[in-house]
Structure 1
Amino acid sequence: MDSKERRKYIEELLKKNINPEKGHELAERLGVTRQIIVKDIAILRAEGKKIIATPEGYIISKEQKSIVKRVMAFSHKTGDIEDELKTIIKFGGIVEDVIVEHSLYGEIRGMLMIKTFYDIENFIKRINEYKAEPLLILTGGVHLHTVVAENEEIIKNIIKELKEKNYLISD
């Protein structure tokens, strides 16, 4: 299989799969190195494919008919991350990413794609396993999330509860 065929295979696989595909598993399946997969993904992105790298692996963005996106500003302690995410998910929201503004590097964005309580559980588990510090520690708790929902009503419910819990930064 040449590089064009391999990229076509990766694209088709990501389109049909619901679950993310890990780079090292793709590499094993295709008999190449993980670095080759990273390069293939970069080329596919450059071609305009909406491939997202999440902590669980690569996914391709599926176009949805009607979605509402909001970038929301948060401020809270590290211990509130799980509750913050659960508040968004329980109403049907999806947390696409986390964004912080760093004084040296500028905007730092981490793709999350948290859609379910299971995703939250895995995210918190990985933080603990890797002894990782979440991005919000770089900014004293201030961070942004892009939240996606099927309609405005869901967004309003999410915002209402997040405000009640004092997680949102008010205007």
Structure 2
Amino acid sequence: MDGQERARRQEMLIDFLRQAEGPLSGTQLARRLGVTRQVVVHDIALMRAAGVTILSTPQGYIYQQRDSMRSQTVLGVNHTPEQTALELYTMVDFGLYVMDVQVEHPLYGMLSGALRLASRRDVELFLEQVQRLDAPLLSSITGGSHYHTIAYRETRHVEEAIAKLRAVGIHVDDA
């Protein structure tokens, strides 16, 4: 394969991801580019190695763009699997953008998974996928203890969300 062809395809891939209103699956990208999903996965790996920030989420790939209007913090939380929906709905209801979930593994260190949840619909889709795949939550390996990187516009939104989470019995470490 010609290096120029790969470079053109990778530029198109980034353009598709930049213009997308949500995540795009490897299959969707492959169809648009006229290649196999494996070629897309390989191209994304090469671009990541070159420093391009493309995130893999359960819904597909996202080109990460910085939102200069938002601040970020990490919240430490602990709850049962049954409280996951309540936790995530509460966060997005207060305008928080749940970027990821992280757990501290005794052997591997910090493990994380991209979430990118900004709305109740995003949370719904995530929870449906967890159920459909019968996939354990990352927090299941730490007895419910985990962290979320969140983005927010106003500090009061974080404070209000923390107060609500605590009021419904979800443990939250001080931000």
Structure 2 length as normaliser, TM-score? Answer: 0.90
Per-residue deviation, 1:115: 0.8
Aligned to 1:65: 68
1:136 is matched by which residue type in structure 2?
Answer: S
What CA deviation, in whole Å up to 9, does each residue of 1:94-134 have, x standing for no partner?
11111111122222111000111011111111111111111
Q: Any conservation in 1 of the 2:91–2:97 contact (CA below 8 Å)? A: yes
Aligned to 1:33: 36
- Give the 3-state SS of the residue equivalent to 2:171 in structure 1: coil
Matched, 1:164 2:167: yes
Aligned to 1:24: 27
RMSD between superposed Cα atoms in Å:
1.6
- Counterpart-to-counterpart distance in 1, 2:50 and 2:154: 30
Q: Bigger CA drift: 32-41 or 116-125?
A: 32-41
- Counterpart-to-counterpart distance in 2, 1:52 and 1:170: 27
Q: Any conservation in 2 of the 1:66–1:151 contact (CA below 8 Å)? A: no
- Counterpart-to-counterpart distance in 2, 1:14 and 1:41: 11
Structure 2, unaligned runs of 5 or more: none
Q: Any conservation in 2 of the 1:72–1:168 contact (CA below 8 Å)? A: no
Aligned residue pairs, count: 171
Matched, 1:13 2:16: yes
1:65 is matched by which residue type in structure 2?
Answer: S
- Give the 3-state SS of the residue equivalent to 2:114 in structure 1: strand
- Counterpart-to-counterpart distance in 1, 2:159 and 2:113: 24
Structure 1 length as normaliser, TM-score? Answer: 0.92
